[in-house]
Amino acid sequence: MSKRIETTDLNVYYGNFRAVEDVTITIEPRSVTAFIGPSGCGKSTFLRTLNRMHEVIPGAYVEGEVLLDGENLYGPGVDPVRVRRQVGMVFQRPNPFPTMSIKENVLAGIRLNNRRMPKADQDDLVERSLRGANLWEEVKNRLDLPGSGLSGGQQQRLCIARAIAMEPQVLLMDEPCSALDPISTLAIEDLMSELKEQYTIVIVTHNMQQAARVSDVTAFFNIAGTGSPGKLIEVGPTDKIFSAPDVQATEDYISGRFG
Amino acid sequence: MTTGVGGAGGPGAAPPRTLWEATRKQNEPMTEKLTRPPTADPDAGPPAQADPRRPGEAIFRGLATGAGITILVILALVASFLLVQGSPALFADPAKLASQGYGEFASWVLPYAFGTVWAALLALLLAVPVAIGIALFISHYAPRRLAQPLGYVIDLLAAVPSVVFGLWGSLVLAPAVRPLYEALNAHLGFIPLFAGQVSGTGRTILTAAIVLATMILPIITSLCREVFLQAPRLHEEAALALGATRWEMIKMAVLPFARPGIIAAIMLGLGRALGETMAVTMVLSGSRNITFELLTSQNPNTIAATIAQNFPEAFGLKTNQLIAAGLVLFVITLAVNSIARWIVARRAEYSGAN
């Protein structure tokens, strides 16, 4: 259930502005890959190209290839809706649908697929997904209450449950803990190390300790200055990036000299 | 729980163990100084001696409270006018009403009340789907270059006076829809709504409803558009990231969020349709009928149009009876609004505002 992502010379644009330049990276399956870098360096933008969420912004487009196990996500005739069903995403701020109950939130993606599912299977899936997101014990008695009644950390785990209920190939996480307290953050980080047994996980984070704790591979993005495009500076095993990076800029960033 | 966080709140923690605790200790006297009455503090400078209730605050509070009271007073005045002036007809002897008024009150007003609600309902049925469609098109489908001017055009439609709609309805629309009515009657005449002898003038309750629908379309569209545009980007993206198409995204993230707003918009439109007088008076040739047939020349009149048509010649008890009819219209509108409030409140905990 997990696939390798490869991009070659990927350029990302907002209208005429090139936000990300020439990214070539391979993201291994069943691992956690972290994107770090200063604000505005294009790491979130790049992440959103991996499930074609980038192009929902008017005027935004992508040049180049994103291969998911060899299949180009930007090939002709590829339906972005199908891509997003294979590549799940968790956002910076928890966003369960406020008008749906906890259970409906988990099933939201399945309902979209118009898959007719017997009620028992639905209940199974809800339990499996919520267990997978370490939320089951906390909500099993209030599945029919609105998801917006949960705490921020619980809401974020509900969003993860919603994403993994779709059984995606890849799970993208865009600063999933930046709106959470340390305890909830810890819960999500534990969850990530469990989830990587099954999924390819890509996480954007501003928190370098978090990248060091959870990721196997770290990619460092940077920009030369305002108005210039973001670039992938260096990518490698996390312990190498955090102990002996090849590029000076990476070391400066990691040691807190800028950013 | 870490000990640092737990210990800071505990009673009698002698030395400050955490940074937070230390800061809090330092801040305590400062808070005390701030809450002490300024005059009691000998160190306080001139700014602290000024009135702690800033004058702007008091003025604004007064204005806002005044505005709130004004609307209640106006409403009470209108209601008491209707009650006082209408009660002679409400409590009059039926025989006296028959000779000096328009006849027994309840049986007289009922067809008009029916006509009012029926015409307004038909207008809503026609207008709401179109209005929501236009609003969605403007907010989520149209390219920005097209959306802006379209919004202006819709708002412009709201500025057309109702007498103009009335002229258009009776002179253009009524003759134009006659062939359509004939066809509906010929092919769908087995449905009771379309049964009966088709009106020769086309000035039926359905024509009036179409004119009313055109008139309430802009207000519903504008309000819905505003609500749709405010649907949180966060939830729209959540739906898209799950693999929703644009329509599915609208169903999952926009419409549920906008539901109270849509209902409020519909209620405003309904209020206008219930009370609309001029256009109905000019378009509809109604009398006192209770019928669901849309295409015949036997149409129920509305309360507002009846008042407008009869008021110039009314005197004495007849005037009271018309005012009492106005009271009935007031009560209908109040009931409709209360039902709408109840619908919105019923699912408040699932509201998109959370």
CA-to-CA distance for B64 and B70, rounded, in angstroms?
10
CA-to-CA distance for B305 and B286, rounded, in angstroms?
9
Helix axes A152-164, A182-195, angle to 10 degrees: 20
Return all residues near B131 (Cβ < 8 A) that are at least 6 apart: B216, B217, B220, B221, B224, B265, B269
| CATH class entry, domain A5-97+172-254 | alpha beta
pLDDT of residue B36: 47
CB-nearest partner of B240 from A56, A82, A162: A56
Tell me whether residues A95 and B252 touch, CB distance under 8 A.
no
Which residue is it, tokens 């008042």? B307
Return the residue of B nearest to A48 by Cα.
Answer: B241
Strand pairing report for A17-27 and A230-237? parallel
Helix (H) or strand (E) holding A18: strand A17-27
pLDDT tens by residue, B90-106: 888 888 888 888 888 88
Tell me whether residues A112 and B248 touch, CB distance under 8 A.
yes
CB-nearest partner of B235 from A82, A89, A95: A95
Return all residues near A227 (Cβ < 8 A) that are at least 6 apart: A17
3-state secondary structure of B111: helix
Return the residue of A nearest to B351 by Cα.
Answer: A99
CA-to-CA distance for A106 and A102, rounded, in angstroms?
7
Q: How far is CA B319 from the centre of its chain?
A: 29
DSSP-assigned letter for residue A146: B
- Is some CB atom of chain A closer than 8 A to the CB atom of B242? yes
3-state secondary structure of A217: strand
Return all residues near B304 (Cβ < 8 A) that are at least 6 apart: B116, B274, B275, B276, B277, B280, B281, B329
Chain B: closest CA distance from residue A228 (Å): 27
- Is some CB atom of chain A closer than 8 A to the CB atom of B160? no
Q: What is the mean pLDDT of residues B269-281?
A: 90
Q: For A30-151, where are the E strands, in sequence order?
A: 32-36, 60-68, 71-72, 87-90
Q: How far is CA B14 from CA B9, B20, B24, in A?
A: 12, 14, 13
Q: Which domains does chain B have, with CATH numbers?
A: 56-350 (1.10.3720.10)
Q: How far is CA B81 from the centre of its chain?
A: 24
What are the residue ranges in chain A where pLDDT is below 70? 1, 114-115, 258-259
pLDDT tens by residue, B23-42: 444 444 444 444 444 454 55
Interface A-B: count of C-beta contacts within 8 A: 81
- pTM score, whole prediction: 0.79
CB-nearest partner of A89 from B234, B241, B252: B241
Contact in structure between A208 and A233 (CB atoms under 8 Å)? no
- Is some CB atom of chain A closer than 8 A to the CB atom of B349? yes
**Exposure of A141 by Cβ count < 10 A (0-12 exposed, 13-18 middle, 19+ buried)?**
exposed
pLDDT tens by residue, B199-233: 888 899 999 999 999 999 999 999 999 999 999 99
CA-to-CA distance for B194 and B173, rounded, in angstroms?
18
Using pLDDT thresholds of 50, 70 and 90, give the confidence band for residue B6: very low
- Is some CB atom of chain A closer than 8 A to the CB atom of B354? yes
pLDDT of residue B348: 63
Tell me whether residues B238 and A82 touch, CB distance under 8 A.
no
Structure tokens given for A73: 């996500």
Return all residues near A46 (Cβ < 8 A) that are at least 6 apart: A10, A12, A20, A23, A35, A221, A230, A232
Using pLDDT thresholds of 50, 70 and 90, give the confidence band for residue B51: low
pLDDT of residue A114: 66
Biggest CA–CA distance in chain B, Å, is: 95
Using pLDDT thresholds of 50, 70 and 90, give the confidence band for residue B80: very high
pLDDT of residue A104: 92
DSSP-assigned letter for residue B169: I
CA-to-CA distance for A137 and B199, rounded, in angstroms?
68
**Residue B15: other Cβ atoms inside 10 A:** 7
pLDDT tens by residue, A210-251: 999 999 999 999 988 878 899 999 999 999 999 999 999 999
Tell me whether residues B242 and A149 touch, CB distance under 8 A.
no
CA-to-CA distance for A10 and A115, rounded, in angstroms?
34
pLDDT of residue B5: 40
Position B281 pLDDT exceeds 60: yes
Residue-averaged pLDDT of chain B: 83
Return the residue of B nearest to A150 by Cα.
Answer: B354
- From chain A, pick out residues whose CB is under 8 angstroms from the CB of B237: 53, 56, 91, 95
Q: What is the mean pLDDT of residues B124-152?
A: 92
Position B309 pLDDT exceeds 80: yes
Q: Is A31 left (phi over 0), alpha (psi -120 to 50) or beta?
A: beta
Sign of the Cα torsion A105, A111, A112, A113 reads: positive
Using pLDDT thresholds of 50, 70 and 90, give the confidence band for residue B21: very low
Strand pairing report for A200-204 and A170-174? parallel
CB-nearest partner of A91 from B234, B253, B256: B234
Return all residues near B88 (Cβ < 8 A) that are at least 6 apart: B317, B320
- Compute φ and ψ for A22, nearest 5 degrees: 45, 60
Tell me whether residues B248 and A100 touch, CB distance under 8 A.
no
- From chain A, pick out residues whose CB is under 8 angstroms from the CB of B354: 98, 146, 148-149
Tell me whether residues A113 and B351 touch, CB distance under 8 A.
no
Return all residues near B301 (Cβ < 8 A) that are at least 6 apart: B111, B112, B115, B284, B286, B287, B288, B309
Name the residue ranges covered by the structural domains of chain A. Answer: 5-97+172-254
Return the residue of B nearest to A89 by Cα.
Answer: B241
Chain B: closest CA distance from residue A250 (Å): 31
- Is some CB atom of chain A closer than 8 A to the CB atom of B106? no
Q: Side by side, which strands form the sheet with A230-237?
A: A71-72, A60-68, A5-14, A17-27, A230-237, A217-223, A32-36, A200-204, A170-174, A87-90
Tell me whether residues A99 and B352 touch, CB distance under 8 A.
yes
Chain B: closest CA distance from residue A240 (Å): 31
Q: How far is CA B299 from CA A83, A205, A254, B209, B265, in A?
A: 57, 68, 80, 12, 28
Structure tokens given for A256: 């807190």
Return the residue of B nearest to A92 by Cα.
Answer: B234
Contact in structure between B209 and B122 (CB atoms under 8 Å)? yes
Interface of A with B (CB under 8 A): 51, 53, 56, 58, 81-85, 88-89, 91, 93, 95-101, 108-109, 112-113, 146, 148-149, 159, 162-163, 166
CB-nearest partner of A99 from B144, B243, B257: B257
Structure tokens given for B254: 């926009």
- From chain A, pick out residues whose CB is under 8 angstroms from the CB of B238: 91, 95-97, 159, 162
The residue among A86, A87, A99 with the most chain B CBs within 10 A of its CB, best to mutate, is A99
Tell me whether residues A53 and B237 touch, CB distance under 8 A.
yes
Chain A: closest CA distance from residue B136 (Å): 17
